[in-house]
Chains A and B, each alone.
Chain A
Amino acid sequence: MFYQKTIEQIKTDTRPSSAGAKAFYNNPKYRGWIYQSLLLIFLIAFFYSIISNTLSNMAAQGIKSGFGFMTTSAGFDVLMSLIPFETTDSYTKVFIIGILNTILVSIIGVICSTMLGFIFGIAYFSRNWLIKKISIIYVETFRNIPVILQVLFWYTAVLTTLPSTRDSLSIGEAFFLNIRGLYIPRLIDEPKSFVVYIAIVIAIVAIFFLRRWARKRQDLTGEQFPLIWSSLGILLGLPLLALFIAGVPFHFEYPELKGFNFQGGINVIPELMALAIAMSIYTGAFIAEAVRAGIQSVPHGQTEAARSIGLKERKIMSLIIVPQAMRVITPMLNSEYQSLVKNTTIATAIGYPELFTVFAGSALNQVGQAIEMMFMSLAIYFALNMMISFIMNQFNKRVAITTR
Chain B
Amino acid sequence: MQTIEIEALQETALQSIAAASSSKELEQVRIAVLGKKGSLTQVLRSMGSVPQEERASLGASVNTARVQLEEALELRASELKALEQSAAIKAESVDVTLPGRSQPIGSEHLISRLTREIVEVFRGIGYRVVEGPEVETEYYNFTALNAPADHPSRSQQDTFYVHDRSGTESRVFGESEVLLRPQTSPAQVRVMENDELPIYILAPGRVYRRDTADPSHLPQFTQIEGLVVDKGISFAHLKGTLEYFCKEIFGPERKTRFRPHFFPFTEPSAEVDVSCGICGGSGCRFCGGTGWLEILGCGMVDPNVFGFVDINPEEYSGFAFGMGVERIACLKYDVPDLRMLLEGDMRFLRQF
Report whether chain A binds chain B.
no
Which B positions have Cβ atoms within 8 angstroms of A? none
Which A positions have Cβ atoms within 8 angstroms of B? none
